[in-house]
Chains A and B, each alone.
Chain A
C-alpha cells in the first residue's frame, strides 16, 4: 500500500519570508499524481497545487511551487512571500494512475503552518 509521510507536524515562518514543507511517499508505481491541500481554520479543504509524475517540470501556482524529486520520492511545497492567510494545515496526497473508478487519495498526516506577523 502507498504511504505518504509528512515529517514536520508544525512549522512557522515570518510574514513575507519563504517556507518549505516536506513530503515523501512510498510507491512502486511509475505513474501517479501528487497534490497539496490546504485546510484553514474554517475546516475547508482547498487544493493548492498538483503534479503529474510523468512531468519533469515542477508545478507552480502563483506563490506556491513544488520541488518534485521522483527518484527520491519527495514532493515538497514552497510558499514564497508568506501571507497571514497562508496559516493553515497542509496535507500532501498521493493518487496512483488507475482505471477510472478507483481514484483513491492517500493523505499524509499534515503540517500545521503558522505565520508570524
Chain B
C-alpha cells in the first residue's frame, strides 16, 4: 500500500504566486488533515475534513483553502503565497476503527516562498 501520498515533495514560489498541494490516501480513511511544521512550533493544524464534502478550520487557516474532492483526495491551496507560509506541510489521514486510532502521515512538502 502507498499509504498517504503528497505531491510535490519540494516547491519554491515567489510572493503572490498560487499553488495547490495534493494529497491522496488509499487506505479508505474517513478523516484527512493538513498540518504545517515550523521550527520551534511543532505541527499546527490548518484544515481538516471529517468526511467527503465537509471541511473545517484548524488552528492556522488564514491564507489557505482546501477541497475534499472525494474520499481519497484532500488538497490544500495557497491563493497568494507569502513568505510566512514557508514551511513543511504534512497531509494525514485517520480511519475511525477506534478512538485511539493514530494519524497516518504523508512524507511532507517543503515549501519556500521568496
Which of B39-47, B61-69, B78-86 is the contact stretch? Answer: B39-47
Cα–Cα distance between A43 and B4 once the two chains are bound (Å) = 14
Chain B interface size, as a band, is 20 to 34
Q: Is the CB of A43 within 8 A of B31?
A: no
Least distance between A95 CB and chain B CB atoms (Å):
8
Binary contact track A21-43/B, C-beta < 8 Å → 1, others 0: 00000000000010100000011
Q: Does B16 contact A (CB under 8 A)?
A: no
Bound: A104/B99 CA distance, A: 11
Chain B: CB-nearest residue to A99: B50
Task: Please list the residues of chain B having a beta carbon within 8 angstroms of any beta carbon in chain A.
Answer: 30-31, 33, 35, 40-45, 48, 50-51, 54, 58, 88, 90, 92, 94, 96, 99-103, 105, 107-108
What is the interface of chain A, defined by CB distance below 8 A to chain B? Answer: 4, 6, 9, 33, 35, 42-45, 47, 50, 52, 91, 97, 100-110
